[in-house]
Amino acid sequence: MAFELPKLPYAFNALEPNIDARTMEIHHGKHHQAYVTNLNNAIAGTETEKMSIEDICRNISKFPVPVRNNGGGHYNHSLFWNILTPNASAAPVGALADAISTNFGSFDDFKTKFAAAATTRFGSGWAWLVKNEAGKLEISSTPNQDNPLMDIAEVKGTPILGLDVWEHAYYLHYQNRRPDYISAFWNVINWDEVAKRFSK
Ligand code: MN3
């Protein structure tokens, strides 16, 4: 079965002023759609069509570059839309909050370290909060559309929070001010969804 563009769980303008409506519309409808279309084209008529996007990522070293770029693009953006919300709480609670404090010192320390990973990713890529195989939290960043599920990733595990730092994610509103976009990201995080991914 071919992969499909997931519906955005809120309106294009729902994340204003943190992420503008025009950016959301193009990012979801054009960029993410292109990853889905190109992934489907890259795997058409092969056994890969029967695989989940997670399993494709876990075995990505066996696939050609178009599957890595577009499969990663599809997985990453599907995660990204779901960890954003117009009804954000300021900070996580419960087991996730405890794990963040244990691993990074405090929630503020975590934010500083995550923002540094997002800011210093050269060119296009993503910053991640990862639950590794030992169940511990790690911060990482990946180039292009790679992600921590991939067998080629430096830090491997399950991504539970991700921030797209490609210019297409922020340039219309923030131009070259990536740090301002990263600051705004904290206002629109769906911590319930991140906690759900953490507890899995
Ligand atoms: Mn993107």
Question: Distance of alpha carbon 173 from its chain centroid, rounded?
Answer: 20
Report how far ligand 1's centroid is from the alpha carbon of 102 (Å): 31
Report how far ligand 1's centroid is from the alpha carbon of 131 (Å): 22
Report how far ligand 1's centroid is from the alpha carbon of 27 (Å): 6
CA 156 → CA 50, 62, 67, 137, distances in Å? 24, 17, 19, 11
Report how far ligand 1's centroid is from the alpha carbon of 105 (Å): 30
Q: CA–CA separation, 56 vs 151, rounded Å?
A: 10
Q: CA–CA separation, 82 vs 122, rounded Å?
A: 25
Q: Note whether 81 and 162 are within 8 A (CB).
A: no
Please name the helix (run of DSSP H) or strand (run of DSSP E) that holds residue 17, with its range, or none. Answer: none
Report how far ligand 1's centroid is from the alpha carbon of 49 (Å): 23
Give residue 130's pLDDT: 98
DSSP 8-state secondary structure symbol assigned to residue 137: E
pLDDT tens across 40-93, in order?
999 999 999 999 999 999 999 999 999 999 999 999 999 999 999 999 999 999
Report how far ligand 1's centroid is from the alpha carbon of 104 (Å): 27
User: Which residues does the chain have with pLDDT short of 70?
Assistant: 1
Give residue 15's pLDDT: 98
Give residue 1's pLDDT: 66
Report how far ligand 1's centroid is from the alpha carbon of 87 (Å): 22
The strand pair at 137-143 and 158-164 is best described as: unpaired
Q: Hey, which residues does 130 pair with through a beta bridge?
A: 138, 159
Q: CA–CA separation, 98 vs 194, rounded Å?
A: 13
